[in-house]
Amino acid sequence: MKGFIHEDFLLTTRTARRLYHEYAEPEPILDFHCHLPPRDLAEDRRFQNLFEIWLEGDHYKWRAMRSNGVDERYCTGDAPPYEKFLAWARTVPHTLRNPLFHWTHLELKRYFGINCLLNEHTAPDIWKRANECLARPQLSARGILQKFDVQLVATTDDPTDDLRHHKSLAREELPFKVVPTFRPDKALNIHQTQPWNAWVDQLAAAANVDIASWDHFLHALERRHDAFAELGCRATDHGLECAFATFTTETRLRTIFRKARAGRPVSPDERDAFATHVMLHIGRLNAAKNWVMQLHLGAMRNNNTRRFRELGPDTGFDSIGDFPQARNLALFLDRLDQEQSLPRTILYNLNPADNYVFGTMLGNFMDGRIPGKIQFGPAWWFLDQKEGMEWQLNTLSNLGLLTRFVGMVTDSRSFMSYPRHEYYRRVLCNLVGRDVENGEIPNDDKLLAPLIRNLCYANARSFFGFESLLPESPPKRRAGKCGN
């Protein structure tokens, strides 16, 4: 009997199956945005059990478990790992039509070769079989990258990080590259005076700069930007509710900075002005180095005050926000464009109601030199599922050039997330294959083959300037001994 996850999973037409198996499946992976811990790669972490690799920090699963009436002790609490796994196994049958049902069984298949459905009855055997596989070197942190032909991982790193794990990785001859990504979100939080000042002190130490003024602050950020560049960084990343576009004078910025460093509160308008000009500074640095600026827009975070106080951020209490996006985004991009300092930019949208806003924004700032200079980024977070991916692909197709799209990311803290690239590729090939069979796209592999290959790998490699870091010819996909 064919398992639930079979070779033609999600591929509903003959053309979709051909496009996937001939052109998408063999392509390696560039994971240009994720939250994997560099330490795990530097130390080649070995995962002791299925809980560690699969459930330890997965707020997607925690949300589903809470919705199923599972006590917090089995999500983020002190329950033993196996009991937490059993609580998840009991939840999985209730995730039908939720992407977690697909992801769960795709991951069990690809990592461990497990074809049966996860539930409370199959859980003991799945736990045993998966843990046996995890004991093998093929599923260490580095082994996983090789198993899934991951050529490059770009982690997400604070400017104050000493990057020691990245330095350690850079000294080794590895079959993949690991590079940092510059994430200066904490630099913007001047309205949170006490934690912001503590962070500025950390920045001063990391940059070896005495930060006594606005100009010193910008210089320290630039020094850290340079330090990231030395380790192969090719991008910055910014998690914002919406773009900042409150422009002011250098004199006022110096006053705001002194005020905050003295521990005095700043007004909302002062915070917006400060954040605007920090973002402009980062944009200019990126343009000078030919880096990519990634703007993750639209998340409304930490909505449950009680749980935030108990558990902290990134524990599953965030949602899509309905912030006005268009005007500030246009003003911010326009200011950099006027200065000839607008870098390659990826706009990640979290609210599908704004898809056409973002899709039309792209064309305003293309420069006629760099193909796809402003990107409508892949579906992320709550939209990282079949329908959300199709919405994003259709929006880009209708309003821009799908052929220039940079493709998918994991955006994950888990080493179990690499099948998300496969999931995206199957959705992509199914979408294109359906159009071919409906007569809406020519059935011509001279058009179709480069489209699929580029949207899986080559466009990202070129857009981020990874050519100098990677081999000329991508390695062929290797099958692991556990899973396939």
Residues 6+ apart with CB under 8 A from 132: none
Nearest alpha carbon to residue 405 among 460, 355, 449: 460
| CB 5, CB 118: distance < 8 Å | no
1, burial (CB in 10 Å: exposed 0-12, middle 13-18, buried 19+): exposed
Residue 376 three-state SS: strand
Strands across the sheet with 292-297, in order? 235-240, 292-297, 344-349, 374-376
The predicted pLDDT at position 484 comes to: 61
3-state secondary structure of 12: coil
Nearest CA-CA partner of 101 in 148, 141, 68, 149 = 68
* Cα dihedral 77→83→86→88 (10° resolution): 10
Res 480: pLDDT: 43
How many Å apart are CA 308 and CA 305, to the nearest integer?
Answer: 5
**Where do the domains of the chain lie?**
47-134, 159-468
- Cα 109 to Cα 115: distance, rounded to the nearest angstrom: 6
Structure tokens at 385: 């599922």
Residue with tokens 């995206």: 424
> In the block, which residue shows the tokens 């003024």?
213
Q: What pLDDT is stored for residue 184 in this prediction?
A: 98
Q: Which helix (H) or strand (E) holds 69?
A: none
Triad 301, 383, 396: Cα angle to 5°: 120
Q: Which of 136, 78, 91 is nearest to 111 (CA)?
A: 136
What is the assigned CATH class of domain 159-468? alpha beta
Q: Whole-model pTM? A: 0.96
What stretches of 298-441 adopt beta strand conformation (E)? Answer: 299-300, 319-320, 344-349, 374-376
E strands, 223-332, are 235-240, 292-297, 299-300, 319-320
Q: What is the DSSP code string of 16-32?
A: HHHHIIIIITT--EEE-
Multiple choice CATH, 47-134, 1.10.3130.10, 1.10.10.60, 3.40.50.11900, 1.10.2020.10: 1.10.2020.10
Q: What is the mean pLDDT of each run of 10 residues along the chain (484 residues)?
A: 88 98 98 97 97 94 97 97 98 97 98 97 98 96 97 98 98 97 98 97 98 98 98 98 98 98 97 98 98 97 93 92 97 98 98 98 96 97 96 98 97 94 98 98 98 98 94 54 59
One DSSP character per residue, 449-469 reads HHHHHIIIIIHHHHHTTGGGT
